[in-house]
Structure 1
Amino acid sequence: MSGGAVVTVRLVRSFEHRNFRPLVFHGVNVELTVLDFMQLVRDDISTRPGLPPPFKKYSYDTMKIIHQAHGAKTNELVMSLDDDEKLILQHDQTLRAAGVDNETEVAFFRKEDYGLYKANPKTAW
């Protein structure tokens, strides 16, 4: 794709409360490293209008593939708790090598929160 990929990033603020915001990024270069893409997303959300302050100031540090184009979606409302070793993006990989392509959706969250939620996957309203 000559214009870059369209990647949806789901900012996960709270797993328990199912508090997340999807953001769409157009023209993403899939040859960027995951670490560089994470910084690009952080820079964007710090200045994005209409995004509530709790999402802007949160310390996101991990990305995981939620859905790829033409693939099956999970029944989980926030993201699947399965296949972490395959779906969590390694910082030194390129997006392409990590499996990110056009129309991929990834979650961006804090790994510590994910670990706590995975150990006790209860939701609160």
Structure 2
Amino acid sequence: MCDQAVLTVRLVRSFEHRNFKPVVYKDVNLDQTVDEFITFVKRDVSTRAGLPPPFKKYEYDTMKIIHQAHGAKTNELVMSLEDDEKLILRDDCRLTACGVANETELAFFKMADYEKFKANPQTEWW
């Protein structure tokens, strides 16, 4: 198994407004811990050209698997609200041990926002 992968990270700014931006990372070392990857992505997002400032300055703290290559996709537009125990990545876990593989799509969000939305999953249209 190759330990280098292409991962898509969906930066979730708002669940209610379905406000997110996908960012693709190539040559990601899947042997690193989730915490190391989160630190890398936060650093990259804060300086990445083309991302609006609200996405650069947001306090992301949690990653969850949205979709894996050749797997079924959710009907939710931002991400599924189910299987948190299995799909939310633990900081001390290696990416491979958490089930992350090549072409996995991850959501990166603020846990407090997710919990609030999960308690009342209503979307707003503007």
Corresponding residue of 2:47: 47
Q: TM-score, normalised by structure 2?
A: 0.97
1:16-67 CA distance string (max 9 Å, x none): 0000000000000000100000010001111100100000000000000000
Q: Distance in 2 between matches of 1:58 and 1:23?
A: 15
**Structure 1 spans left out of the alignment, 5+ residues:** none
Q: Which residue of 2 aligns with 1:71?
A: 71
Q: Describe the superposition over 1:62-92 as per-residue Cα deviations: whole angstroms up to 9, x where unpaired.
A: 0000000000000000000000000000000
Q: For residues 40 and 102 of structure 2, what CA distance do their matches in structure 1 show?
A: 17
For structure 2, the residue ranges without an aligned partner over 5 or more in a row are none
Q: TM-score, normalised by structure 1?
A: 0.98
Q: What percent of counterpart residues are identical? A: 69
Corresponding letter in the other structure for 2:106? V
Amino acid in the other structure paired with 1:102 = N
Instruction: Using the TM superposition, give the Cα deviation of residue 2 of structure 1 relative to its aligned residue in structure 2, in angstroms.
Output: 5.0
SS at match of 1:85: helix
Which residue of structure 2 aligns with residue 14 of structure 1? 14
